[in-house]
Structure 1
Amino acid sequence: MAAALGRWPLWLTLCLGASLAVDRGNFKSCEQSGFCRRQRRIQPGNSPYQALLESLQLGPDVATIQLVNEVTQVPLLLELWGLTGNVTRLRIQELSPLRPRYRVPDVLLGDPPAERLEVTGRDEGTLELSLGPGGHRLLVTERPFRLDLLRQRELLCSVNARGLLVFEHQRRRRDSDPPKDPPGEEGAAQEGPEDGAGSTQSDKPAEPPAEPEEEPGAWEETFKTHTDSKPYGPTSVGLDFSLPGFEHVYGIPEHAESLRLRPTEGGDPYRLYNLDVFQYEVFTPMALYGSVPLLLAHRPRLSLGIFWLNAAETWVDIGSNTAGKTLFGKLLDYMQGGGETPQTEVRWMSESGVIDVFLLLGPQPADVTAQYGRLTGTQALPPLFSLGYHQSRWNYQDEADVEAVERGFEEHELPLDVLWLDIEHADGKRYFTWDPAKFPNPRGMLERLAARKRRMVSIVDPHIKVDGGYRVHTELRARDLYVKTKDGNDYEGWCWPGSSAYPDFTNPEMREWWANMFAFDQYEGSTEALYTWNDMNEPSVFSGPEVTMHKDARHFGGWEHRELHNIYGLYVHKATAEGLIRRSGGRLRPFVLSRAFFAGSQRYGAVWTGDNTADWEHLRISIPMCLSFGLAGLAFCGADVGGFFQNPGPELQVRWYQAGAFQPFFRAHAHLDTARREPWLLSPEHLALVRAALRRRYALLPTWYTAFYHCHRQGIPVMRPLWMEFPDDPHTFAMDDQYLLDRVLLVHPVTEPGARGVNVYLPGEGEVWYNDETHEQHRAPQTLYVPVTLSTIPVFQRGGTVIPRQDRPRRSTEAMKGDPFTLYVALSPQGTAQGDLYVDDGISFDYATKNAFLHRHFHFANGTLTSSSADPRGSMSSPAWLERVVILGVGRPESALLTTHGERGLGGFGVLGWVFGILGWVLRGVLGF
């Protein structure tokens, strides 16, 4: 690669990683983004918006009120819903727009069920609405327009309290003709998504008078060498939210940032705009590969969320404010003793679309994530093999290289589930093909891997080589399924194959065609052992502005790219996952990794933190990044183990394996120019430590899989911050160097070079924690100094829990089927424990369509371990059996008792048919056997 760089243009040389750090000049700051600059110059107070309370219309599930900008006299429509499950929705749009504004489709699971609204109070300038049986009330203030959301008498959130509502109405440009739709799409731009309940958009758009430009760049904007034509003028929207009593906010991934979001006064806001950023820096609000516009706030006894459903470029300002509090906020201070309570201000700014916001009102942390899951879907239950270890690099060279790497794992007794192939495996980077010289027999290669109970992932990117001899390109061009330029031609840019065209995945016909390409008779050489990786789907355009697509490019329905940019990657992910499901006749679960994402992407597979660097900073930042992903629904997250760029030293490589073993998605990956780093290339001493970390991951796979089932059913993250489980402990609110796996294991990876010890905070008043390796017991709460060597991974099991494990070393997850289980019972101070185990076939949808699963609940009390069904719907036969029960927190009892469905003794284990023998019952004391 390095030798070839001189033949590429400078911009492509930089994209290929020749630079040692991201060039910030390639990406916009807020000041360089016209709408962000305009909105940020608006100061709090003096809002021009008035609510016309006399216009209230109260339907069975929605209330509508007209708003008016008293300066421009442009009317807006405010719609309000009280949704079931403690969620409030508000939407603001133009009452009579010149053309429909984009409303994000395909993210919500459907129309959320709504409660009946009632007017419960009126006085001069104020209206009170009851939002349903949860006791929530909404106060609407007339002038200036403001919303205050209360639970009983407690103020939860104020909207537009600072007067920063912005809605740039559509207008005609002075001395210009109306913009034309691309050829062949006349009128399509007027056909937006169907109006939702309560919409009263006029059939005949109003014709406001032409207006002068507000400032240079409002109708045309240039960044570096690229000009954005902005044919419809400035159309940005913005709104502020005041959160009294809150000083900790989280979420809005993806940023290389601490878990707790920092105030943005004096710097740029956090940016949500999917971009291909090579060698990104840490602790910066710069945009990265994906965007989820969900922010969570937490304080003792209350969590809430703000879900801003907008797919355009978005900036989020975060600040604190006391002087500008609402009357209700000041009243709260008075009621709490007269002192100042914290207040966080959140300001959202998007380039286009409408204001569509869901306020998730908790009150508990798990309630907020569940509320979001009910709106956008929960994490898809992954196939079991995908929770194992993945080995990748750019690129394994040929079939012989693949065979040698797979054999290396076998010879060195290292577990492995998946080998990966990057872009060089394809014929000239033509996706859905194989290089005939390097991979002449892909089916045979896949069959050999499958015989060893392993699988493969190949990359399929959404840029298509412009080549008249390439079937994929000629079919897409013939079907007219590419994104268009503003002039109606196929949009082309440079990416890995050279000149590339970009499929329009917003078009359902395009997604259908793409899904069909994964059929075994279309993707030649593929088998059921081959799965998929979608990279570069921001979309990445090396020759485009900010390394992405021009905003004035056109999509299906006439929509501009600016209106839907952040959802493009979700559509690629969705179509690919559907293709893998379809090729098996709907029987098998897909595995698809995607770099770009949006709200709802969790329904389609896994994500990762992108092109990181082999340094300690990037190892450390991987923890809060994945925690933020999980809070935003993307539970199946990981970071490239070892770092994608540059070469890790052996200590860093070992520590990254140890950290990766306790993150949901566990894959090593490396840049083309890095040295090979398969584990056996380390010294024998370091290799042994990597082997131990891998085996530790595989032993805990029953716990991982059960945690993913909880996430799939309940929407609660697999890898979660401590404050989710200990919401009243302020010590946990800003912690992001340790976390919980489900609710049972506390993990504190070692992320400092040369570390001899780490300080681990053990939360929970009156609780106990057990060292996962030594089984030493520790009382909580306390900060515990844990001495470490290079072999140490500080992990603690929570007292009062039961963890299932499979402790026999195997080559892969499939080889573990039928292996016996061990239950680790960690007793609470009261001598009790409980936990569960979820089991299905690990690969199909039979768990959902045929109830082919087992979900067992374990309870230990008074010396008796009881097993019962956690879900009576589940029924399947399993060869698994229980080999041992390890009890932590007791001395050596003379006897122990097992009961199953009321039966006493060491007999059968209910539906599971597990077998017990006296040699399989092991009791451990505090410090070991």
Structure 2
Amino acid sequence: MRFFHNWNSIKQTKTGFTLSLEDNWSFHAQVLEPWLIRIALEPPQGFEPQRSWMVNPGGSFPWQGRKRQDLSVFSRPEFQRTERNGVLELISENARMRLISDPLRVELDLRNESEQWVNVLRDRRSGAWGFNHSKETTFHFQDRQETDQHFGLGDKSGPLDRSGRRFRMRQMDALGYNAETGDPLYKHVPWLMVRDASSKKLVGLFYDCLAPMTFDLGAERSNYHGFYRHVSAETPGLDLYLIYGEATEIIESFTRLTGLPNLSPRWSLGFGFSSMHLADDPNGEKAILSFAADCQHHRIPISSLHFGSGYTLKNGKRYVFTWDKKRFPDAKSMLNQLKQRGLGIVANIKPALLQDHPKFRSMVESGGFLKTPAGDPAISQFWGGPGAHIDFTSPTARGWWKNQLKAEVLVKGIDSAWNDNNEYEVDDADAQASGEGCPFPAKQALPLQALLMTRTSVEAQQELHPKLRSYSVTRAGCPGVQRWAETWTGDNQTSWHTLRWNIANGLSLAISGMGRMGHDIGGFSGERPEPELLVRWFQAMSLHPRCVMNSWKPETEGMSLPWMHAEMLPRIRSSLHLRYQFLPVLYAAIWRLHHWGTPPITPLWCEFPDDEQCYQADDCFLLGGRVLVAPVLEEGQRSKKVWLPNCSEGWFDFYRGNELGSGKWIKMKAPLTRLPLIIRGGTLLPLAGRVSTKYPHQTLSRKLYVFAGASYQDTVSPSKPYWVEDDGISLDYQSGGYCAFHHTISWNKKLVKLTLKTEGQYPLPNLRIPVYCPNLDKRKLLLEPQKIDGYILDL
């Protein structure tokens, strides 16, 4: 490997500097936003591919990607630049970056609370930016303090703090993975948040690279270089974005940089069910209808049914966009009956055709597959045998996909696509992608295929139903895919161990721009969950953004079901009722995600970055920054040790309303009947009223819970809404068809006051809304106003 040492010339640009390096390489340093700096090591021939599909903060998203040199999507604020003693400086309002030679390296300073500059990132002094010509691999090394902390990287296993480990960025179909140590998993998320041990500042590093990568965060050591971390990419060049601010601001900025998520229909937040056993059943149609009837019989509230790929089965193989007529003799009638039960329907689709697929030959003739250099389909091992992957960088392939999805899936009555098995484990290292007419090696951007597949599927839905919101799911993908779909942590293994570590896996996704996420309740693979484990899994997922039960169990055991352990059914039903009670809270959370990129659930440290204990708590999370959810993750446990972050408003038991304190460890009672929930003082909780079995996500009744703070006197007035009402399914909200409530809660020793202001034009129904203050004590509760359109607030 050869490191870059000196620059040959300096060019001042409108956004910073471009340095000419050895062998015609270039190094760009650019101030793009008050919170964003770009650093790019560019090879002589330019980046390959030369466009970016992940970084595109504007509203439009060209299929061919954004030219990397096109900076028009950024505000490009004013900055100062200096050249002093061979050191170049770029100074913006919030950051100061230094470019130093021999060897080439970068240092980043941010302002502290006293407005003084403090160093937060520094490249390794013994060599920072390098390239291995024989392996065509680019390296970036940074100095590391032994107690630096590292977060992010998407759906990676183990603790939230990644320090001391090495991770590969390569998408894999990781069936039954170890949630504590397994790697790689399903997604490609080259996003790292570094917390500097000295300054306690967080900085986000996003490598805009779709090639296979490795992140070494302290696993590797050398006596000659001190402590360091490094990133390597199997491609010439690296394109790096540095994001700075407070913790939640960094996550929001990263989400905006790569694309704000769409707003899904309300039914997608309800409980969903899937099992390979249902659609695979020899009498699949009857099995599915029987399951739906059983839900009503057992009084299980449910909003969606997710079809596994069994509807495409023939002779033991799965052929996407076909139906097995023996299993499903009248699919339209079946789907209509499910719709009458109020269910949203999601169908599994896969991006590869087996060689004996009835439509394989026609796809070869149209040129829609990834190809060998000779122009033949690139054949890889897929589920069921050898096949070829659809090339979604080809307009022809996308057109074919849309037409097939509409004709064979959507027009039959299915609402949404479940984009599955889209990791693109392509065996042929020389396979080519069409690249919108500019071919490039497929291995340079395999995660792009999942992103474009998901977008293509969603556009097919939008073309059929242009006035409705789209909902989609994807298992694989890279930053940017969240624009169109939610995700989950794939085919998890049934065990207490998985339940424990999936919580951290999901929180890592949440801080990596993929806020709509969850885990298969009960575990996908392995043995069926035993009674206590099933209850605790339902409780843990009841307040996640995604709540879906999915399984593929041995035929001798059968599928996992909510009522599989009769003695636990009341507790599971209670967990689902809790979810539907909190659906207005969850809906407001995804509203904030859609508009601002605010993650619905986060680790405690996102809200309390100065509380050191919060960085050790990756077995609980905050919903909306104000509801502390502490699921039980160990067998036989009937209490939960919980850290209460230090805040003046204090914390209160959701069920009893009593004050619990702040800045200390407590032991919460956690019987099998209850999910421990702790509410931050100054919180407004809009909860749904009585939940019905049919259309539970459409419950109109509401109850308001106002939690005053523990301090003597204070006021809490969030800038973003924590209560939003609309029709839950159309795009009318884009033209004012919503009602967002902005609230202020103030309190003193005599009074608790809730003030509400509304935004939008959605007509509210005529309802009485009871208002409760669980910690009112002897104070008076005052509401202002008491009538809002059709709502009458009732003490």
TM-score with structure 2 length normalisation? 0.90
Of residues 668, 676, 684, the one that matches 1:786 is 668
Q: Shift of the alpha carbon at 1:833?
A: 5.3
1:239 correspondence with 2:140 = yes
**For residue 840 of structure 1, what is the amino acid of its counterpart?**
D
Q: Which runs of 5+ in 2 are unaligned?
A: 59-70, 111-115
| 2:337 aligned partner | 448
Report the CA distance between 1:552 and its aligned residue: 1.5
Aligned residue runs from structure 1 range 57-206, under 5 A: 57-68=11-22, 74-95=23-44, 97=45, 101-109=48-56, 111=71, 112-115=73-76, 120-130=81-91, 132-134=92-94, 136-151=95-110, 153-169=117-133
One-letter identity of the residue aligned with 2:159: S
Preserved CA contact (<8 Å) 2:723 2:742: yes
Structure 1 residue matching 2:473: 3-state secondary structure: strand
Percent pairwise identity: 25
**Deviations 1:244-283 (CA, angstroms, capped at 9, x unpaired):** 696211011222221111313xxxx211100112211233
Tell me the residue number matched to 1:898.
Answer: 783
Q: Is the Cα contact below 8 Å between 1:856 and 1:867 reproduced in 2?
A: no
Q: How does 1:269-288 map to 2 (within 5 A)?
A: 269-284=166-181, 286-288=183-185
Match of 2:67 in 1: none
Partner of 1:654: 535
Code of the aligned partner of 2:728: G
1:435 alignment partner, one of 324, 332, 341: 324
One-letter amino acid of the structure 2 residue matched with residue 538 of structure 1: E
> CA offset at residue 816 of structure 1?
4.7
Equivalence map 1:426-825=2 (5 Å) = 426-428=312-314, 429-467=318-356, 469-470=358-359, 473-519=360-406, 521=407, 523=409, 526-527=412-413, 529-540=414-425, 548-556=426-434, 557-585=438-466, 587-646=467-526, 647-673=528-554, 674-683=557-566, 685-812=567-694, 814-817=695-698, 819-825=700-706
Q: What is the CA-CA distance between 1:324 and the residue it aligns to?
A: 9.5
Deviation (angstroms), 1:301:
5.5
Q: Name the amino acid aligned to 2:679.
A: Q
Query: What is the CA–CA distance in structure 1 between the aligned matches of 2:11 and 2:136, rounded to whole Å?
Result: 27
- Give the letter aligned to residue 105 of structure 1: S
**One-letter identity of the residue aligned with 1:67:** L
Give 2:757's aligned residue.
869
Q: Letter of the aligned partner of 1:604 in structure 2? A: W
Letter in 2 for 1:535: D
* C-alpha separation in 1, matches of 2:571 and 2:634: 17
Q: Secondary structure at the match of 1:654?
A: helix
**Helix, strand or coil at the partner of 2:302:** coil
Q: 2-side partners of 1:753 and 1:664: how far apart?
A: 24
Change in Cα spacing, 1:816 to 1:360, as seen in structure 2 (3 Å) is closer
Counterpart code for 2:332: R
1:754–1:524 distance in 2 versus 1, CA, 3 Å: closer
Alpha carbons 1:318, 1:346 under 8 Å: kept: yes
CA contact (8 A) 2:155 2:506 kept: no
Instruction: Report the alpha carbon displacement of residue 745 of structure 1 after superposing the two structures with TM.
Output: 0.6
What is the distance in 1 between the residues matched to 2:51 and 2:145?
30
* Amino acid in the other structure paired with 2:117: R
Which piece of structure 1 moves more, 767-776 or 490-499?
A: 490-499
SS at match of 1:679: coil
CA shift digits 1:689-730 (9 cap, x unpaired): 000000000100000010111122221211100001111000
Q: Name 1:10's counterpart in structure 2.
A: none
Q: Closer, same or farther in 2 for the Cα pair 1:535/1:524, shift >3 Å? A: closer
Partner of 1:202: none
Alignment counterpart, residue 792 of structure 2, candidates 888, 897, 915: 915
Does the 8 A contact of 1:856 with 1:869 survive in 2?
yes
SS at 1:79 equivalent: strand
- Whether 1:56 aligns to 2:16 is no
Residues 280, 115 of structure 1: CA spacing in aligned structure 2 closer, same or farther, 3 A cutoff? same
Inter-partner Cα distance in structure 2 for 1:351 and 1:320: 19
**Structure 1 pair 116–746 and aligned structure 2 pair: CA distance change class (3 A):** closer
**Corresponding letter in the other structure for 2:525:** F
C-alpha contact (below 8 Å) 1:838/1:855 kept by paired residues: yes
SS at match of 1:681: coil
* 1:298 maps to amino acid: R
Q: 1:119 to 1:419 in 2, by over 3 A?
A: closer
Q: Secondary structure at the match of 2:773?
A: strand
Cα 1:126–1:277, aligned 2, differ >3 Å: closer, same or farther? same
**1:270 is aligned with what amino acid?**
F
Pick closer, same or farther for the CA change 1:260–1:344 going to 2, 3 Å: farther
| Alpha carbons of structure 1 residues 48 and 447: separation in structure 2 relative to 1, 3 Å | closer
- CA contact under 8 A between 2:33 and 2:77: conserved in structure 1? no
Tell me the amino acid that sits aligned with residue 52 of structure 1: W
2:719 is the counterpart of 1:839: no
Q: Structure 1 pair 749/866, CA: closer, same or farther in 2 (3 Å)?
A: closer
Q: Tell me how far 1:400 sits from its aligned partner.
A: 1.1
Superposed displacement of residue 616, structure 1: 0.5
Question: How far off is 1:160 after superposition?
Answer: 4.4
Task: Give the distance between the partners of 2:146 and 2:247, measured in 1 at CA.
Answer: 16
Give per-residue Cα distances to partners, 1:866-903, cap 9 Å, x unaligned: 44335x4x21113263421110212255x643222xxx
Q: CA deviation at 1:462?
A: 0.5
3-state SS in 1 of match to 2:792: coil
CA shift in 2, pair 1:896/1:278, >3 Å: closer
Judged with a 3 Å threshold, the aligned counterparts in structure 2 of structure 1 residues 168 and 882 are, in CA distance, closer, same or farther, namely: farther
Partner amino acid, structure 1, of 2:346? V
Q: Partners in 1 of 2:477 and 2:5 — Cα distance?
A: 37
Q: Quote how far apart the aligned CAs of 1:571 are.
A: 1.8
Larger Rg: 1
CA offsets 1:73-127 (integer angstroms, 9 cap, x no match): x2310111101132110111123x3x86324522222544153676643333322
The CA RMSD measured in Å over matched residues stands at 2.5
CA–CA distance in 1 between the matches of 2:176 and 2:645? 36
Distance 2:432 2:220 in 1: 41
SS at match of 1:378: coil
Q: Distance in 2 between matches of 1:302 and 1:523?
A: 49
CA contact (8 A) 1:167 1:235 kept: yes
Aligned-pair CA distance for 1:147: 1.5
Q: Secondary structure at the match of 2:593?
A: helix
The answer to whether the Cα contact below 8 Å between 2:55 and 2:480 also exists between their aligned partners in 1 is yes
SS of residue in 2 equivalent to 1:680? coil
**Residues 321, 441 of structure 1: CA spacing in aligned structure 2 closer, same or farther, 3 A cutoff?**
closer
Native 8 Å contact 1:310 1:353 kept in 2: no
Which shifted more, 638-647 or 859-868? 859-868
CA contact (8 A) 1:804 1:837 kept: yes
Provide the rounded CA distance (Å) in 2 between the counterparts of 1:817 and 1:349: 49
- Which range moves more in the overlay, 551-560 or 120-129? 120-129
5+ unaligned residues in a row in structure 1: which ranges?
1-38, 40-46, 69-73, 170-217, 219-233, 327-342, 541-547, 901-905, 922-929
Q: Report the CA distance shift for 1:880/1:315 in structure 2 as closer, same or farther (over 3 A).
A: farther
Alpha-carbon separation, structure 1, partners of 2:688 and 2:599: 23
The whole-number CA distance in structure 1 between the counterparts of 2:409 and 2:297 is 32
Residues 367-378 of structure 1 aligned to structure 2 (within 5 Å): 367-378=249-260
Query: Scaled by the length of structure 1, what TM-score is found?
Result: 0.77
Other-structure match for 1:317? 216
Residue 48 of structure 1 deviates from its aligned partner by 4.0
Partners of 2:702 and 2:159 in 1: CA distance: 37
Instruction: Please give the secondary structure, in 2, of the residue aligned with 1:139.
Output: strand
Q: Which residue of 1 aligns with 2:63?
A: none
Give yes or no for the alignment of 1:349 onto 2:304.
no
1:427 and 1:436 in contact (8 A); partners too: no
Distance 1:497 1:236 in 2: 34
